[in-house]
Amino acid sequence: MSARGFYTTRWVVAFDENSAIAKAFASARRELTQMHTDIRDRLVSVEMEPEEIAPGSWWRWLRGGGRGFSFYVD
C-alpha cells in the first residue's frame, strides 16, 4: 500500500491567509523531503491544499508543535 494523502497541522506567523498557506506548505514540504527519498529525488509529486485556516495564539506558536503527518491510503 502507498499513501494517497495526509493531514498535518502547522503553526506559522503570517500577516494574511495567503502567506500563512505558503509558509505552512513550505514547512510541510521541508519535512516531507527530509522523511522520504522519493519526494527528495522527485520520483513522486506532492500536491497540497488547505482545509482549514484559523488564527492562533502566540503562546501556541512559541510552544512549537504542528509537525508530523497522518497519512491515509485512499
Please, which pLDDT band fits residue 65 given cuts at 50, 70 and 90?
A: low
**What average pLDDT score do residues 67-72 get?**
77
Structural element, H or E, at residue 27: helix 17-35
pLDDT score of 30 more than 60: yes
Q: What is the mean pLDDT of the chain?
A: 82
Q: Which of 37, 31, 13, 33 is nearest to 23 (CA)?
A: 13
**Amino acid 63: pLDDT:** 76
